[in-house]
Amino acid sequence: MKFNIQFFGKILLILSVLFVMPFCVKKETFIKQSEAEVIFTNKSSLLKINKDSWKISLLNSSGEEQFIEASPPSFQIDEEWISLRKIVDVKPTNNKLVEIKAELTNGTKAAVLVNSLSDYAFGIEIRLDEKEASAIRGFNKLHQKEEVYGFGEMWNGHVAQRGQSFVLWDQTGTPDECAYMPYYVTTNNYAFFLDYGGSVKVDVGKTDLDRIVYEAPTSEFSITLVSGNKISEAVRNFFSLNGMPTLPPRWAFQPWFWMIGRGTTLKTNWDKNHPNYKGNDVVKMAKRYRELDIPVGVCWFEPPWQTARNSFEAREYFTNDFKALIDELHQLNFKVLAWTTPYTSPSSPNWQEGIDKGYIFGEPKDEITADKDPVAGENGYNYIDFTNPEARKWWQEEITKALNAGLDGFKLDAGQKLPDDVILHNGKLGKDFHNAYALYFNRTFFEILSEKYGNNFLMIPRAAWIGSGSYTNFKWPGDLNCTFDDNGLPAALYSMLSLSFCGLPYLATDIGGYAGKNPEENVWVRWAQLGTFMPGMQTLYMPWWYSDKALKHYRYLSYLHTELIPFWMSLAHESHETGAPICRPLVWTFQDDINSWRVDNEYTLGESFLIAPVITPENEREVYIPPGVWHDFWDNSKSIQGPAEINWKGDLWHFPLYIKAGAIIPMEVSRDMTVFGWTESADYITIAIWPSISEKSQFRLHDREEPVIFDVQMGENEDILLKWSQSAEDYLFRIHWKSGNSIKEITAGKGEKRISLSKAKDLLSFRKSKEDEWFLDEVNNKLWIRKSTDEYSGEIRIY
C-alpha cells in the first residue's frame, strides 16, 4: 500500500486545528483592572471596586449605577471602628472567583473574595487576617428617588421602609416577630443580602437621609448583590440563587379552620391557656361547616392532641383512635394537620434519647406537659439542633409516627427563641444563628413530608428566614391582637406585604386575631374580607358565633375564595417559577408610577384585583387607584380611571375592591352563591373577562393541565377576538359587557373552519343547555358563551 503523505498531512492539520482552536477562542474576561479600579463582569451586571479609596458599586448591563457604598465598611476592633481603606493586591483564582488583599485605615490586613454567583449576582466576603472584629458596619447609598422594601416580615406599620430604623431579631410577643431577614430590594432594581443569622441593626435613611446603615455583632462581612431591570427581576434573580418558592397542593387554597376551646358560642369558646378540647369537637365543627354549606376543606389539631410537646403520639383524652379520627375527617372531605414546635420536653418519651445523644441544647427551666402548658416552658434550650444531620433524621423519624396515622401536614409554631449561648452542630453560636434557625426547622419537616407525599401536603410555619420559601408551602404570621390596633388587623396586612418581596408568596392570617379578648363582629368581618384575598383563608372563630348576616357574608366570601382556585393555582405556578408574590404591593406592578411606591395598605392579586382592605373601625378610607381603568367589583357599571385618589365610603359588608380592565380570571364555579355562575357551571372552567378597549390582554391558566394561554383583544369598534391555546377543558366565558352595545354575531373556530354560535332564548335556557351557544344578560351587562372542546375550539370572535 502506497503511503499518501499529502493526505496524512491534511489529517494532521485538521486534528491540530480541532485540538488547538478551543484554547485560542477568546473568553469573556471576569476581571479587568486599571490604576484606579478593579472591574468584575458577568453577563448582566458589572461590579467596580475603587483601589486607593475602597468603594463598591454595582451597574446593570446598560451601565446604570444601581448600588454604591456611601462609605467603606467598618470593623470594630478593640472597641474602635476601623474602616477598610484600599486594595493592596488582586489575584484571580479562576474565571468566577478573585482573591483581593486589602488594608484597613490602621494597617490591619484583610482578605476579600469576590465571586460571580450568576449572570446577575456577585458575592463579596471580607475577613480580617490578623485580628478578630467584634462587629461590622456597612453603609449603602440611598439615591434621592429610591424606595426600599423587604427585611422579612415587618411589624413597624410600614412596607416602604425608607425613613425607618429597626433591629432584625426574632422574638416572641404580640406580634410574634419571627421572620426577620437582612435582605432588601429597592426601586433602583437591585437586591442586597447580608449573610448573617443573628441580630442586625438597620437604619434606612432615618439618621442620614442618603444612606442605609447596617450593623451586626460578627467578624465576617458577607454580602450578595443582585441586579435586575426592575424590582420583580431583582427578586427573581435573587431567589434563583437562594431557592424559589415551592408549589402548594391545590386543596391548600380551600378555606381552613381550627379551634382552641370547646365552647359552642364565641363567649364560651376561649380557653387558650389550658385548651382541653377533644378530637370529636373538631369533627363536630367540621360537620357544622358542611351543614351550613360553607366550603371549608382544611383543619388542624392544636396542642392538646399530643401526650406531651412533642411526642407525636395522641393522648387518650383527645382520642382513643387517632387514625380513625383522621379518617372520619377525611370522609368529610377535610385535609387534617396537627400543631407542633421545634422542641421536646421531659414528659415526652423521646426526651431522654435526645438528651443522651446531644440532639437537644439543654434542659428547659419549666416542665412542659399536655395538661399544664405554659409558654414559659419554651425557653429555647429544649430546641432540637436541626443543623445536626443525625438529629434531623431522628426528629423526622418521630414526625413519621404522626404521619403514619394519616396527617396531611403540620402547623409549625415557635422557632424564634434560640438562646445566645448554645453551640450548634455547625459550630455557630446561638446568637449568630438565632434568626437563621427557622430555615433548618422548616427544612426538617419539609424533607420528611416531601418524601412521604411529594408536594401533596400543607406546612404552615410561623418562623422563617431567607430561603424558607423553598422549604415550606405556606406561612402564617403568628399571634396578633383581636382588634383594629397597630398589632391587630393592620399588622396582618403590613407584615404580609413586606414579606411579599422575600420569597414567601403563600401567606395566611388568623381571621380575627388570637391574642386578648375575642374579636368583635366588625373586626372579624373586616379580617375575613382581607383573608378572602390572601392565598390562605383561615379562622378560629366560627362564623355562626356571630350574626346571621355575618354568617351569610362569610359563606359568600368562602365561596368566592374557593371559586378562585384556578386563579390561585395559576399565580402559584408563577410564584414557583419567578419568585413573584401573589399579593403584590402596588410598586411591584406599577413601579413606573412613583406615587405607588409608598402605598402600604393596598395590593393587587396578581395584576387583576385591586384590594384596599378596611383596617379601622370606620367604614371609609382613602384609596389610591393606580394607572389603568378599574371596574368596581360590587357595581361593574362603575369604573375609575387611574391614577387617582378617592375617598371610599360604604358599609361593613363591602370594601374597596376593583378589577382591572383587561383582567382574565379563571374560576371554578359550582353554585350560584356568587355572581360568577350557577350549579350548571360545575362542568366547565369559567373564564371571567373584563375587556380593555384597543388593548390586548393575556393570562396564563396553569392548573390541572399544561399552561393554557388566553388572549383577549378588543378593537376600536369594540369587536372582540378571544383566543386560547390547546386545552382539553370545556369553557364558560363570562364577559363584562358595555351597556347598550349590541351583538351581530359570535363565531367559533379559526380561518375557514369557523361556525356561527346560536343565541339562547333566555338566561335560564342557556344555563340548562349543553350546546355551544351564547346569551347576553342585558340586566347585568354580562355576555355568556359556552364552548366545549372540539375542532372549533381555540378562537371566538364577537361582532
Query: Could you report the per-residue pLDDT of 310-346, keeping only the tens digit for each?
Result: 999 999 999 999 999 999 999 999 999 999 999 998 8
Of 249, 179, 259, 168, residue with least CA distance to 462: 179
Tell whether the model's pLDDT for residue 408 goes beyond 90. Answer: yes
Range scoring the smallest mean pLDDT among 77-81, 196-200, 302-306, 597-601: 302-306
Cell numbers linked to 776:
347576553
Q: What is the mean pLDDT of the chain?
A: 93
Average pLDDT over residues 232-242: 97
Tell whether the model's pLDDT for residue 268 goes beyond 70. Answer: no
Tell whether the model's pLDDT for residue 402 goes beyond 60. Answer: yes
Tell whether the model's pLDDT for residue 12 goes beyond 50. Answer: no
Q: Are 460 and 506 in contact (CB under 8 A)?
A: no
Q: Are 269 and 518 in contact (CB under 8 A)?
A: yes
What per-residue confidence (pLDDT) applies to 277?
A: 84
d(CA 92, CA 39): 12
Q: What is the DSSP letter of 264?
A: S
At 750-768, the pLDDT tens digits run 988 999 999 999 999 999 9
What per-residue confidence (pLDDT) applies to 84?
A: 98
Tell whether the model's pLDDT for residue 3 goes beyond 90. Answer: no
d(CA 601, CA 613): 7
What per-residue confidence (pLDDT) applies to 363?
A: 65
In degrees to the nearest 10, what's the CA dihedral of 605, 145, 57, 200? Answer: -70
What per-residue confidence (pLDDT) applies to 319?
A: 97
pLDDT band, very low/low/confident/very high, at 678 (cuts 50, 70, 90): very high
What per-residue confidence (pLDDT) applies to 386?
A: 98
pLDDT band, very low/low/confident/very high, at 130 (cuts 50, 70, 90): confident
What per-residue confidence (pLDDT) applies to 378?
A: 67
Range scoring the smallest mean pLDDT among 31-35, 186-190, 271-275, 530-534: 271-275
pLDDT band, very low/low/confident/very high, at 13 (cuts 50, 70, 90): very low
Percent of the chain with pLDDT over 70: 93
Q: What is the largest CA-CA distance in the chain?
A: 107
Of 530, 539, 531, residue with least CA distance to 258: 539
Cβ count near 93 (within 10 Å): 10
What per-residue confidence (pLDDT) applies to 384?
A: 96
d(CA 798, CA 30): 56
What per-residue confidence (pLDDT) applies to 374?
A: 37
To the question of pTM greater than 0.75 for the whole model, the response is yes
At 157-213, the pLDDT tens digits run 999 999 999 999 999 988 989 999 999 999 999 999 999 999 999 999 999 999 999
Tell whether the model's pLDDT for residue 2 goes beyond 70. Answer: no
User: How far is Cα of residue 593 from the mean position of the Cα atoms in its chain?
Assistant: 23
What per-residue confidence (pLDDT) applies to 360?
A: 94
Average pLDDT over residues 119-132: 95
Pairing of strands 458-461, 409-412: parallel
Strands (E), 573-675: 583-584, 603-605, 609-611, 620-632, 639-649, 657-660, 664-667
Sheet containing strand 773-777, edge to edge, reads 664-667, 685-689, 731-736, 782-787, 773-777, 758-759
Tell whether the model's pLDDT for residue 146 goes beyond 80. Answer: yes
Tell whether the model's pLDDT for residue 399 goes beyond 60. Answer: yes
Q: Are 38 and 87 in contact (CB under 8 A)?
A: yes
What per-residue confidence (pLDDT) applies to 375?
A: 37
What per-residue confidence (pLDDT) applies to 271?
A: 52
List Cβ<8 Å contacts ≥24 apart for 568-572: 568/253, 568/535, 569/250, 569/253, 569/702, 569/703, 570/606, 570/666, 570/699, 570/700, 570/701, 570/702, 570/703, 571/505, 571/605, 571/606, 572/247, 572/248, 572/253, 572/505, 572/506, 572/535
Average pLDDT over residues 607-629: 98
Tell whether the model's pLDDT for residue 17 goes beyond 90. Answer: no
Average pLDDT over residues 680-696: 95
Average pLDDT over residues 606-621: 98
Q: What are phi and psi of 451, to 5 degrees?
A: -60, -35
Average pLDDT over residues 235-262: 94
Of 189, 227, 235, 188, residue with least CA distance to 210: 188
What per-residue confidence (pLDDT) applies to 14?
A: 33
At 538-575, the pLDDT tens digits run 999 999 999 999 999 999 999 999 999 999 999 999 99
Tell whether the model's pLDDT for residue 371 goes beyond 60. Answer: no
Helix H, strand E, coil C: the string for 373-402 is CCHHHCCCCCEECCCCHHHHHHHHHHHHHH
Give CA angle at 244 (138, 704), nearest 5°. 160
Average pLDDT over residues 130-149: 96
Range scoring the smallest mean pLDDT among 2-6, 115-119, 749-753: 2-6
Strands (E), 106-243: 109-118, 121-128, 135-141, 148-152, 164-168, 180-186, 190-194, 200-204, 211-216, 221-227
Average pLDDT over residues 61-89: 97
List Cβ<8 Å contacts ≥24 apart for 741-748: 743/774, 743/776, 743/783, 743/798, 743/799, 744/799, 745/799, 746/774, 746/785, 746/796, 746/797, 746/798, 746/799, 747/796, 747/797, 747/799, 748/772, 748/787, 748/792, 748/793, 748/795, 748/796
d(CA 286, CA 276): 18
